[in-house]
Amino acid sequence: MVATEPATRVTELLERPRYEVIPLDGTEDEVLEHVPREVTVTVTASPTRGLEPTLRLTSSLARHGYDVVPHLSSRSVTDAAEVAEIVDRLRGDDVRNVFVVAGDAEEPRGPFHGAIDLLEALAELGRPFAEVGITGYPEPHPLFDDRTAVAAMSAKARHATYVVSQVCFDPAVTASWIEGVWARGTRLPVFVGIPGAVPRAKLLRVSTRIGIGDSLRFLRKNGSFAGRLVRGFDPDRLIDGLGAVVSTEKVAGLHVFTFNDVADTEAWRRRRLDGS
């Protein structure tokens, strides 16, 4: 990649971001109404409803011309036969990119306890997808220590082509983490996870649930961020604060957690691109 100024590179990334959505009633209509086709749509997986809503929405959006990335939750898959069925179904919809996660189900439905298990099952099927994403954590994860997280990423990276970072409200921490990931030898491009333009209450509620408490403490200490939250959050400072790393091959793009506030998130992106 030819080196560019950070501000220019951020604009380039905003032209083709990824929007993460939750497969609920009405999600498809919201995407069709507000999200242009140059935006990649990723579809989360529910620990209670299983993968069927994810696969169904993925198929529908793909037919509408979107580049869609389903989240495949390992703990929601029952066995190797279901893995093969999922692969056939997604390939039939011309899906070429998947995001493999462990999932939040308390008990796995089958033998796949973590993302690595499903990644290995996909590898046994001949690596059927051109792009495979895995999760990375700029901050300590609430369920395992840093050493465990580093080891898990190293194991998963053998089967992946990119990393998506969990939300972190301190961009300096995210930038340092990206540099550290590459320095340890996991040289996969990172899609930086940022929240979309979401209401304050929802952002605080979801942030607590997904375990980014350190970021919340940073948010509350930083007056400028806190002031923005009173009006609703926009992610400008998170992307502007990444610094020079955003202009390197280490950053592949922006993964925007919309929490289904796609209309407001797209309005924010348009304002940013228009310079208003």
- Confidence (pLDDT) at 148: 76
- Confidence (pLDDT) at 169: 85
- Confidence (pLDDT) at 218: 44
- Confidence (pLDDT) at 215: 46
Measured CA to CA in angstroms, residue 151 lies from 14, 24, 51, 159 at distances of 32, 34, 27, 14
Chain CA centroid to CA 166, Å: 7
β-pairing, 40-43 vs 251-257, is unpaired
CA atoms within 13 Å, Cβ hemisphere of 242: 33
Q: Percent of the chain beyond pLDDT 70?
A: 85
| Residue found by looking up tokens 């609920």 in the block | 24
> Does residue 206 register a pLDDT over 70?
no
E-assigned strand segments in 48-105: 68-73, 97-101
Q: Are 213 and 187 in contact (CB under 8 A)?
A: no
Average pLDDT over residues 198-213: 62
- Confidence (pLDDT) at 223: 44
Buried b (16+ CB within 10 A) or exposed e, 264-274: bbbebbeebee
Predicted TM-score (pTM) of the model is 0.90
Which helix (DSSP H) or strand (DSSP E) does residue 56 occupy?
helix 52-63
Look at residues 108, 159, 110, 105 and name the one whose alpha carbon lies nearest to residue 131. Answer: 159
Higher pLDDT pick, 245 / 201: 245
- Confidence (pLDDT) at 213: 43
- Confidence (pLDDT) at 4: 79
At 274, is the pLDDT very low, low, confident or very high (cuts 50, 70, 90)? very high
Grouping H, G, I as helix, E, B as strand and the rest as coil, residue 267 is: helix
Higher pLDDT pick, 267 / 209: 267
What angle, rounded to 10 degrees, do the helices at 213-221 and 223-231 form? 100
For domain 6-270, the CATH architecture is Alpha-Beta Barrel (3.20)
The residue ranges of every structural domain in the chain are 6-270
- Confidence (pLDDT) at 144: 60
Look at residues 149, 162, 154, 206 and name the one whose alpha carbon lies nearest to residue 188. Answer: 162
Q: Give 40: exposed, middle or buried? Use CB within 10 Å, 0-12, 13-18, 19+.
A: buried
Look up residue 268 and give its two tokens: 């924010």
Count the neighbouring beta carbons within 10 Å of the beta carbon of residue 88: 11
pLDDT tens string 207-239: 555 444 444 444 444 444 444 444 456 689 899
pLDDT, mean over the chain: 88
Look up residue 218 and give its two tokens: 């940073």
Grouping H, G, I as helix, E, B as strand and the rest as coil, residue 47 is: coil
pLDDT tens string 132-162: 999 999 987 655 666 777 888 999 999 999 9
Average pLDDT over residues 98-111: 92
pLDDT tens string 20-55: 999 999 999 999 999 999 999 999 998 889 999 999
Higher pLDDT pick, 160 / 103: 160
Look up residue 250 and give its two tokens: 């280490």
Q: Percent of the chain beyond pLDDT 90?
A: 73
Average pLDDT over residues 169-185: 94
- Confidence (pLDDT) at 212: 45
Measured CA to CA in angstroms, residue 146 lies from 31, 101, 141 at distances of 36, 18, 7
